[in-house]
Amino acid sequence: MSSTSQVRLIEAGPVSPVTLVVMSDPAHGIEATVAPAAGGEISSLKWQGQELLYRANLFEDPGAGGWRGRAPLLWPAVGRGYGPNRRHQVLVGGADPNQGSFWYKGVEWPMPIHGFAFRRSWAVIELGGEPRPWVWLRLRSDEETRRYYPFDFVLEVVHELRPGALRSTYRVQARSDGLICSFGNHLTLALPGDENAFDQTTVKVSSPAAHLLELYPPGLVTGISRPIPDLSRGGVRLADPAYLDAVVGGFTSAPARLEVRHPELPPIVVSQWGRRLAEPAPRPPAYESGPVEDDPFGLSPAHYHFVLWGSRTQRFFCPEPWYGLPDSLNRRDGIILLGAGESAEWVMEVRVGGEMELPS
């Protein structure tokens, strides 16, 4: 096998072929696939030939009770949120909880669960293999997005391979004033083996102040939290169903990190960080999107969360990095606020085969 990194295009899907961008780095044993037309998402991630994502490159509907899998971007909302009218319809009237809304300047705007970015086709701006494999995608506001979201924007992502890691840098520029948004990714890991192997999977986070946020149906936070010291010590096991539908907070510095260990997988470390951009970012791949210690433009660590969600029977687990919380657009808490012409970025990195670095 060649040790040279590369980027190539392939067609996938037996029913409706989808053009995919495959980035490979044989020297470090990592390969990632991106689906521009399917939300610009990461649709496959392999380490030493082993697939790590659930339902990788399967774009057909999973059917009732199934989960789509892969690693879609959550934007401009994370989770569910309800303006006053929709809240009553859902909590009292039994309306579909996945169809939410948010209130802005006297209007209640419809907003589906996790936003709309992963439901849209993204344009490929450029791709390359040097100095590392990368692809640059873009989504612009249009008549369709304005049905949900009264802001003009340019949203971009650069997916790139680093030694032993996949890094996705999302950047949003406001083209109208008062833009509000949160960021997240529904990273979905496929856990091989039987239910015993699933139960032995451990999760650990980088913050000694980690706590769980209490939830109430249909997936909103109460504002009550409880400390979980084991989350930052030896870790917790997925044998406890409490960690298959949970929100972890309590991060005090960036990057916020979470480590997953499974008997049949290499260690997987998911990190997130972000910042406001004081000046226009250089074109990829010349920029550097790594975390900056004591960054004066950094996003608030208090709003970094990891949502834990999974299925023991379907053998998947989602260690979802979020900047924000359910209903953030309505509560105006855990959001990024931008004036016209201002920009911000949010970064997710998935590192395979390494140890989790703890804050100094």
Mean pLDDT in residue range 299-317: 97
Reported as a pLDDT band with limits 50, 70 and 90, residue 285 is low
Question: Which residues are CB-neighbours of 99 under 8 A, at least 6 positions away?
Answer: 86, 110, 112, 113
pLDDT at 1: 38
Residue appearing with tokens 């907003």: 111
Mean pLDDT of 238-242: 96
User: In terms of pLDDT, which residue wins out, 69 or 294?
Assistant: 69
pLDDT of 174: 97
pLDDT score, position 22:
97
| pLDDT at residue 291, rounded to an integer | 78
Would the pLDDT of 288 be above 70?
A: no
Across the range 239-245, mean pLDDT stands at 96
293, pLDDT greater than 90: no
What's the mean pLDDT when you consider all of the chain? 93
Whether the pLDDT of residue 15 is over 70: the answer is no
Number of C-beta neighbours around residue 185 at 10 A: 28
pLDDT of residue 359: 59
The pLDDT-based confidence of 13 (bands split at 50, 70, 90) is: low
What is the domain partition of the chain in residue ranges? 6-79+114-352
Mean pLDDT, residues 25-46: 97
- Mean pLDDT over residues 311-317, rounded? 96
Q: Which one, of 125, 124, 181, lies nearest residue 334 by Cα?
A: 181
Per-position b or e across 73-83, b if 16+ CB within 10 A of its CB: bbbbbbbbbbb
Please state, in angstroms and rounded to a whole number, the distance separating the CA atoms of residues 56 and 22: 13
Whether the bond between 131 and the residue before it is cis, its omega within 30 degrees of 0, is yes
| CA–CA dist 332, 123 (Å, integer) | 30
What sections of 281-347 are H helices per DSSP? Answer: 328-331
Mean pLDDT, rounded, for 314-326:
98
Residue 20 scores a pLDDT above 70: yes
- Kindly report which listed range (188-202, 204-218, 233-247, 278-292) carries the lowest average pLDDT score: 278-292
Angle at 287 between CA 285 and CA 288, to 5 degrees: 115
d(CA 329, CA 75): 11
pLDDT(2) > 90: no
Question: Which residues share a beta bridge with 251?
Answer: none
**What CATH architecture applies to the domain 6-79+114-352?**
Distorted Sandwich (2.70)
Average pLDDT over residues 135-155: 97
Per-residue confidence (pLDDT) for residue 118, from 0 to 100: 97
pLDDT of 77-112, one tens digit each? 999 999 999 999 999 989 999 999 999 999 999 999
Separation of alpha carbons 359 and 44, rounded Å:
30
For 125, other C-beta atoms within 10 Å of its C-beta total 15
Of 332, 291, 326, 333, nearest to 307 by C-alpha is 326
* Distance separating alpha carbons of residues 147 and 87, to the nearest angstrom: 19
**pLDDT tens profile 148-171:** 999 999 999 999 999 999 999 999
